[in-house]
Structure 1
Amino acid sequence: MEHDTVITSQEVKQWCRIDNDADEATIDLLILAAQEHAAAYTGRTLEPYTCPSSIKQAIAVFVADLYANREGQTVGTQTFNRLLNPFVLSTL
């Protein structure tokens, strides 16, 4: 993958219990989408070596949800938001 991500496809595949490489491109795309969403939600720039583990976990949860529910009926948004809420930058 040419983009810097805070979580690897291998880590996501382990979280999702995916044992093959058949959907590698799909998972890479979902990681990028989830990371972009996490960055937009928190207002933070996410860096691979300084990213909090809760944000990484939120991305893994969101990718798993997007992967399992490709029709667009995701259910993991609440968990994703709960994990990210402590990292939202205040706009006051």
Structure 2
Amino acid sequence: MKPSEKNHDLETRIEEAQAKLKDLKAVARKQARRDETRRKILYGAAVLDIIAKWRDETGKTEGRQIEDASRADRMMLALHDRVSRKSDRIFLGLEERTETL
């Protein structure tokens, strides 16, 4: 094999390795987005479950019912405050924001 052919072969292998690396990085980014979405879903479900438990009056004293309902209301207000995209606010039945934070 001539030196120029070796060079060409090495350059081709380098290009192939770089293309493979690019593809692997894309796969890693895609997996990271999936993982982030899954985390959001899991934590969101957990928060909604906590709020549902606070709203459940079964077996609670009147004072505890009031305290937990207030806690649930504050949490929902905090969550609603974090939703900024207009289409998301419409989907959740929230009022349109008049100011941005």
Q: What TM-score does the superposition give when structure 2 sets the normalisation length?
A: 0.27
- Structure index of larger Rg: 2
Higher share of residues assigned helix: 2
Q: Which gives a bigger RCO, structure 1 or 2 (Cα 8 Å, sep 6+)?
A: 1
Q: What TM-score does the superposition give when structure 1 sets the normalisation length?
A: 0.29
